[in-house]
Structure formats: structure tokens, C-alpha cells
Amino acid sequence: MNTNMLPENLQAEALIEEVNQGLFYPVFQPITNGNGTVGAEVLLRWKRGHDVEASIRCLLDSDKIAWFTQKFLLRVSEELLSREKMIDFLTINISPGHVLSFTFLRDIYPIWQACNKLDVTLWIELTENEQYPVGINEKRMMSQFGVCRGLGIKIAIDDYGSGYNTGEALIRVVKPNIVKIDRSLMRNRSDNSTFWERLRFLARKYQIELLSEGIESHEDLRFAKSQGIAYFQGYHLGKPGSLNQLSKQDIAYYSSP
């Protein structure tokens, strides 16, 4: 089914039917500390192979997006609970707008509960494609973050340096535990020396841990380490896969000469 050929309202209905049929599934990309896999990011895949992010944009209704997220996170929770602890933390992507939803805490509860049972820390990554709320909605967002922190959940800014996830003002407002650096800044690091210097300053000032995406070579990893980055993610360290593949990739990579 090519949902992009349908009118927007029918696209949404078709997509919801695909979800109900179980055609969406999670994969896990390893995150390392330079010595071994310590965490994983949950990514969404579609058995039909279509562009997931482009397709779910037809779910313009916030309730539908929340429903979609809840269904997906329930699937992730079931997978986690089907095996023993393998990682120290798990990170999921949430839009700033979803944080404002009255169902937000209910939506993330199953994945938090699964992580809590396994003694795995849950991270929430705030995605870069949506403007952050202001005024009273900003206060509501921060209140939601307060509840999350009370549950032991860490807040991360995803793809920092791209989209709406830029600047010190955002860090000052959100007060993230972790900032994930957009892969484009790793690729073009020779043109962004000022960015890296500024980032190191902000990390010290706000006591933030840094994670670099886009580690595609040993040289990328060496550069990231030289910047004082704590965590690393990229195809050089492991591709997205099942939880079983996550463990095997870790063993294969770190036992190689």
C-alpha cells in the first residue's frame, strides 16, 4: 500500500490500519562509551519499507500521534521484558508538541515501567523538526519534564545544531541531561570549529553530557573523543537491529583487533 497516493485523511486511516496489523516494529541502534555498548536508541521501521517519518506526517491530529506513539512504545516494552537486561539506558524520540499532550505521561508509562523493572534508565529525546512551545505551554512542558525527572527519566535534545534544536537559549530553558550532536556537524567538522568550541563551553556551563551521532569511521570516533564527548553512535559502531543483534554487534566490534 502506497499511502502517499491517498488523500490526507485516507492516508491517516490507512496508516492506522497498518499499525493495527502490526506492520511497524522497533529496531535498536547501539550507543557506546568507547569501550562497549551501554545504551540503545529505539528507531521505528515499517515492514513495507516506506519512509516512516514522511508517512506519519499525515497524522496531523495530536490524539492520533499520541495513539501511534503509545502503540509503538507498547511493542518496545514487550520486547524489552522478553529478555534480561542488556544495556544501561534506552532512548526514545518524542516531539515537543507531544510532551504537551494530556496523554503524554500515560503514553510513556509502559516503556518507563519496562525500563524500571530491568534497571534501565529511560531517556527522552526531543526531536528537532517542531518549534518549542512558549508562554504558558512552555511552563506546562517544563512541568512534564519535572514529573519525568522525578521518575528517573533523563531529558535529551536530539540532533543539536539542526532544525529548532539550536542555541544556548534552548539549553537554558530545557535544562537537558544530554545533548545529542547532529551527524552533519561530525561530517563537516572542519567547517564548524567554532561550534565545537562553543559546545564544549556549554557542556561545562550547564553540566551536560554529550553524545555524538554520525560516527562512521575510526577517525570520527577519535575526533569525538578529543572533544570530551561521553557517548557515541553511528554505523561504525553498530547498525540498527533486533535486541539479539545489538548484543552480537557489540561482541563482534569490541573483540576485533
Q: What is the pLDDT of residues 18-73, one digit of tens each?
A: 777 777 788 899 999 988 899 999 988 777 765 566 555 555 555 666 667 777 78
Residue 223: predicted pLDDT: 94
Q: What is the DSSP letter of 50?
A: -
Q: Show the 3-state SS of 98-159.
A: HHCCCCHHHHHHHHHHHHHHCCCEEEEEECCCCCCCCCHHHHHHHHHHHHHHHCCCEEEEEE
Owning domain of residue 23: 3-254
Nearest by Cα to 232 from 196, 186, 171 = 186
Alpha-carbon gap, residue 153 to 146, rounded angstroms: 9
H or E segment and range at residue 83 = none
Residue 162's SS3 state is strand
Count of domains observed in the chain = 1
Residue 256: predicted pLDDT: 41
Give the pTM.
0.86
Q: What is the DSSP letter of 182?
A: P
Grid cell in block for residue 66: 499520541
pLDDT under 70 in the chain at which residues?
A: 1-13, 15-16, 49-67, 247-257
Residues 6+ apart with CB under 8 A from 178: 123, 154, 155, 156, 157, 208, 209, 210, 211, 231
Alpha-carbon gap, residue 103 to 245, rounded angstroms: 33
Nearest by Cα to 170 from 96, 75, 228, 71 = 96
Alpha-carbon gap, residue 184 to 240, rounded angstroms: 19
Alpha-carbon gap, residue 133 to 183, rounded angstroms: 25
AA letter at 250 = D
Residue 109: predicted pLDDT: 93
List the alpha helices (DSSP H) in the chain: 8-20, 52-55, 62-81, 96-99, 104-117, 136-150, 168-174, 183-187, 193-206, 218-226, 243-254
Residue 7: predicted pLDDT: 46
Grid cell in block for residue 193: 570549529
Return the CATH number at 53: 3.20.20.450
Residue 10: predicted pLDDT: 47
pLDDT in tens, 96-112: 988 998 889 999 999 99
